[in-house]
Structure 1
Amino acid sequence: MNKTISAQDLQIDLRGANEAALFKWLVASFLMGKRIQGAIAANAYKVVVEQHQRDTPQKLAHCTHRQLVVMLGQAHYVRYDETTASRLLALASKLNNEYAGKVSNIVEASADRQAFEKRLSEFEGIGPKTIEIFMREAAALLF
């Protein structure tokens, strides 16, 4: 049985819906939204965000595809490492270009939860599973 990994398990404090925590939880949700073991996804989050300090969309966007593939490999997140690296870069880029690098700006641009989820789904690689994981903990704080 797969244990549900929470933001708290990853030491992400979502109280007050602060921007840094929202971004970290989005990246963690993104990694866990793929068909990969939760523990490996959680480890990938720790390698990318904590160990390599890619904890903002700006810092993530300044990674090369190769650097991200190596980080994901370090975490044994190897099955989807190439596409995940590309999509993480696309996520950071879209967040920076369209929402000034802030998850909270996606919220502000959305009339309601449904509109927010639709905007999230417009990011490459974010599907229903990633949205479900993210919203499980963020919805109550955002809407």
Structure 2
Amino acid sequence: MSKIISAHDLQIDLQGANEAGLFKWLLASFLMGKRIQGQIAANAYQVIVEKHHRDTPHKLASCTHRQLVTMLGEAHYVRYDETTSSRLLALANKVNTEYDGKVSNIVAASADRRAFEKRLSEFEGIGPKTIEIFLREAAAVLFESST
């Protein structure tokens, strides 16, 4: 059993439900939600966000499919590199076009946690595992404070 990788492990700050942290954690959760070793997913996150500075929906959406495939390859995230690259671009574009580039707007558009989970599941490539990983840490800053 591999170690569960947390937002803290990736130096992602979720305090105050800040936008930068929420998007980075969504991106990391997306990568870790696939059937791939956690450390490889974490490496992919670090290559995309720390090495190539694609840490916002706008910056990620400005990548080409080929650039993302190359970044995933750098991290040895090669099993699903083509589909993951396409889905990362779709994720960034959907956050940009439907939610004005902000994960917090997905929350604001949702009546409650269940509605938020439904909205996340409408993103291509986001399934129950990715939602579980994301909310394992983000739920506390997104939903508990509002009750």
Shorter-chain TM-score range: over 0.9
Deviations 1:67-105 (A, max 9, x none): 000000000000000000000000000000000000000
Aligned to 1:96: 96
The residue type equivalent to 1:52 in the other structure is H
**C-alpha displacement of 1:15:** 0.8
The residue type equivalent to 1:48 in the other structure is I
Aligned to 1:24: 24
**C-alpha displacement of 1:128:** 0.2
Listed as ranges, the matches of 1:38-49 within 5 Å are: 38-49=38-49
Distance 2:140 2:58 in 1: 26
Listed as ranges, the matches of 1:1-143 within 5 Å are: 1-143=1-143
Q: What is the RMSD of the two structures over their aligned residues, measured on CA atoms?
A: 0.3
Distance 1:120 1:131 in 2: 7
Distance 1:18 1:6 in 2: 17
Q: Percent identical across equivalent pairs?
A: 83
Distance 1:114 1:141 in 2: 15
Deviations 1:90-126 (A, max 9, x none): 0000000000000000000000000000000000000
What is the DSSP-based 3-state SS (H/G/I as helix, E as strand, rest coil) of the residue aligned with 1:9?
coil
Distance 1:71 1:85 in 2: 9
What is the DSSP-based 3-state SS (H/G/I as helix, E as strand, rest coil) of the residue aligned with 2:9?
helix
Normalised to the residue count of structure 2, the TM-score between the two structures is 0.97
Distance 2:127 2:49 in 1: 21
Distance 1:13 1:134 in 2: 13
The residue type equivalent to 1:8 in the other structure is H
The residue type equivalent to 1:64 in the other structure is T
Structure 1's consecutive aligned runs of 4 or more residues displaced over 2 angstroms after TM superposition are none
Deviations 1:11-58 (A, max 9, x none): 001111100000000000000000000000000000001100000000
Q: How many residues align?
A: 143
Structure 1 residue runs of 5 or longer lacking an equivalent are none
Structure 2 residue runs of 5 or longer lacking an equivalent are none
